[in-house]
A and B are shown apart, each in its own frame.
Chain A
Amino acid sequence: DGGITQSPKYLFRKEGQNVTLSCEQNLNHDAMYWYRQDPGQGLRLIYYSQIVNDFQKGDIAEGYSVSREKKESFPLTVTSAQKNPTAFYLCASSMMGADEQFFGPGTRLTVL
């Protein structure tokens, strides 16, 4: 089945630790995105990548880092510099030139 997978579904970390969230897609999509969603809030873009080895900051990139070494994979690292990392993190992808984005099931990160 084609789709986007994110792992893990739930993640707990201690404050001050870096953590990496996985996102993989087998849809052959060129672009990939990371969002965070907080209760009662809209999705906010963290980073996106339109091509391998290239990525751009979104609205709230501070405290996060990404890499795009393969077309299928776009991992997100939440660093200790992120002031309020507890949130629902969503990865999405889209075809080149298309605006529609398709989402993975998300990772719910809780920092204790």
Chain B
Amino acid sequence: RKEVEQDPGPFNVPEGATVAFNCTYSNSASQSFFWYRQDCRKEPKLLMSVYSSGNEDGRFTAQLNRASQYISLLIRDSKLSDSATYLCVVNNLEGNTPLVFGKGTRLSVIA
């Protein structure tokens, strides 16, 4: 059964805080992992891909743990503009859905 599970939140954090989200996936054969950002009533936008070696883009760091089948997103020095829902996305190697989307984790950064 394909599943991507995320804590729905909300995570309410003050500006400048560091916050981390985890996401677990059920298909051990999955090879591609992504974090998308979705603002309220807008389309999802690709935030970053997650590589086996992990990757960093400015204040954002993504990690993959294949043994435990989870990926993480770390946001340092949170800004008000980081407030959004973060979607964990995993490719699906079986069935009829190329990508499986988590329901998202809502982040609210407070001044």
Cβ of B49 within 8 Å of any chain A Cβ, yes or no, is yes
A59 adjacent to B96 (CB under 8 Å) = yes
Residue-wise, chain A 65-109 has the 8 Å CB interface mask toward B (1 for contact) of 000000000000000000000001010000000011111111010
B96 adjacent to A43 (CB under 8 Å) = no
Interface residues of A in 40-75 (CB under 8 A from B): 40-43, 45, 48, 56-59
A90 adjacent to B103 (CB under 8 Å) = no
B97 adjacent to A42 (CB under 8 Å) = no
Interface residues of B in 16-34 (CB under 8 A from A): 32, 34
A42 adjacent to B101 (CB under 8 Å) = yes
Interface size on B, residues (CB 8 A): 23
A102 adjacent to B46 (CB under 8 Å) = yes
B44 adjacent to A42 (CB under 8 Å) = no
B42 adjacent to A59 (CB under 8 Å) = no
* CB contact between A103 and one of B45, B91, B103 (< 8 Å): that residue: B45
Rounded to whole angstroms, the CA-CA distance of A56 and B4 in the bound complex is 22
Residue-wise, chain B 35-63 has the 8 Å CB interface mask toward A (1 for contact) of 00000011111100100000000000000
* CB contact between A59 and one of B44, B91, B97 (< 8 Å): that residue: B97
Minimum CB distance partner of B90 in chain A: A99
Minimum CB distance partner of A33 in chain B: B98
B43 adjacent to A57 (CB under 8 Å) = no
A99 adjacent to B97 (CB under 8 Å) = no
A90 adjacent to B43 (CB under 8 Å) = yes
Rounded to whole angstroms, the CA-CA distance of A102 and B44 in the bound complex is 8
| Chain A contacts for B101, CB-based, 8 A | 35, 42-43
B42 adjacent to A99 (CB under 8 Å) = no
| Chain B contacts for A45, CB-based, 8 A | 96-99
Shortest CB-to-CB span from A46 to chain B, Å, is 10
Residue-wise, chain B 86-101 has the 8 Å CB interface mask toward A (1 for contact) of 0100010001111111
A106 adjacent to B42 (CB under 8 Å) = yes
* CB contact between A99 and one of B4, B87, B98 (< 8 Å): that residue: B98
The 4 closest A-B pairs by CB, nearest first: A103-B43, A99-B32, A43-B101, A42-B103
